[in-house]
Amino acid sequence: MLKWKRVDHDNTQETTLASGRKFRVCKFYDVDCEHRREWMVEEYNSEREEWEWCETYSPMWYAKQQVKEIAEYEQSQEQHRQQWAEDVKKELNL
């Protein structure tokens, strides 16, 4: 289960996946500086040392759900890789 941490007074929240990828959910403001219940999902790019926009969702719980689905997908892919490695070892009698 992902643990979200509130990082500022504007209710921006961050989490880190098991793979080390960092995501945050923050308010999206329109051209009139109004928050209309839309939330941006951003991923941290460590090479450029900045947050990059991924998508905008509404409401906040749905934005966080999208990050959770990314985490679940990564976890399932890792399980498949581990199973594949075990199968190869068995075939090669290692």
Largest CA distance in the chain: 66
**Local confidence band at 4 (pLDDT 50, 70, 90 cut-offs):** very high
pLDDT at position 20 is 95
pLDDT at position 79 is 85
pLDDT at position 34 is 95
pLDDT at position 23 is 98
Mean pLDDT of the chain: 94
Give whole-number Cα distances, 2 to 8, 77, 90, in Å. 19, 17, 34
Token readout for 25 is: 């959910």
Contact 53, 40 (CB under 8 A): yes
Phi/psi of residue 53, nearest 5 degrees: -65, 135
